[in-house]
């Protein structure tokens, strides 16, 4: 594992934030960090995602590992880098999008599900392969992929929760991504910051943080 991946390796759990508003997403991120989750991925399905990234970067600096998710266009990759993201996550990958992500110099996580897609992501220079949606194959599928790809850093996303997160790591995950299981959009809309922090603490404890 390269040194540039060390911050993500230490964070272990990345919260995939799909907030209904910029203000709510920032507040949710603060609750997550208070609960011990320092991997924060602001998705481009969040309104004004770049502004949210910039605000969190200004507030936390290097105390969190901050990235942009659901990156689907060249423009989003460039905008997220300018806003202060440390890593970029795409749900899938194309040669053009992968080139734009790599051109930023940031850590890249490219989405893949099948062995052929994993090979494409590796050919296009992915630092980490985002196994997505990992809920489809579950933990046994990750174990199977580790056979032909023992040197690949996998970040399963989808179907990861506090009850099984330790099992994902035991199966060989480099890091995990968690969306609504860790921070639901409804909790953000209801301003349930205490509930988000409580869930984050349970996740962090289960992940050995």
User: Within its chain, how far is the Cα of 11 from the centroid?
Assistant: 10
pTM (predicted TM-score): 0.96
Q: What is the mean pLDDT of the chain?
A: 97
Q: What is the mean pLDDT of residues 138-145?
A: 97
With a cut of 80, say whether residue 1 has pLDDT above it.
Answer: no
- Taking only the tens place, the pLDDT of each residue in 29-78 is 999 999 999 999 999 999 999 999 999 999 999 999 999 999 999 999 99
SS3 81: helix
Is residue 73 a contact partner of residue 99, using CB atoms and an 8 Å limit?
no
Nearest to 86 by CA among 39, 37, 16: 39
Nearest to 50 by CA among 84, 2, 90, 96: 84
Number of domains into which the chain is organized: 1
Residue 62 DSSP symbol: G
Containing domain of residue 145, as a range?
3-206
Which residues form the catalytic set? 41, 130
- Taking only the tens place, the pLDDT of each residue in 169-187 is 999 999 999 999 999 989 9
Structural tokens at position 57? 């970067």
The CATH code of the domain that includes 176 is: 3.20.20.70
Nearest to 197 by CA among 80, 40, 66, 32: 32
Backbone phi, psi, residue 65, to 5°: -105, 105
- Taking only the tens place, the pLDDT of each residue in 91-128 is 999 999 999 999 999 999 999 999 999 999 999 999 99
SS3 37: coil
């Amino acid at each position: 594992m390269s040194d540039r991946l060390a911050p993500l390796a230490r964070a272990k759990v990345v919260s995939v934030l799909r907030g209904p508003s910029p203000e709510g997403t920032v507040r949710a991120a603060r609750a997550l960090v208070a609960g011990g989750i320092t991997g924060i991925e602001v998705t481009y399905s969040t309104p004004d995602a770049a502004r949210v990234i910039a605000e969190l970067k200004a507030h936390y600096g290097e105390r969190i590992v901050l990235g942009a998710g659901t990156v689907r266009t060249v423009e989003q990759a460039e905008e997220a880098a300018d806003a202060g993201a440390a890593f970029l996550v795409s749900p899938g990958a194309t040669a053009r999008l992968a080139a734009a992500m790599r051109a930023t110099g940031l850590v890249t996580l490219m989405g893949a599900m099948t062995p052929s897609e994993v090979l494409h992501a590796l050919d296009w220079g992915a630092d980490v392969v985002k196994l997505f949606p990992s809920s489809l194959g579950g933990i046994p599928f990750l174990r199977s992929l580790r056979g032909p790809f023992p040197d690949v850093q996998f970040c399963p996303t989808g179907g990861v929760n506090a009850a099984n997160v330790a099992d994902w790591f035991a199966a060989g995950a480099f890091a995990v991504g968690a969306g609504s299981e860790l921070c639901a959009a409804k909790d953000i809309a209801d301003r349930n910051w205490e509930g988000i922090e409580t869930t984050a603490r349970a996740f962090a404890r289960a992940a050995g943080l």
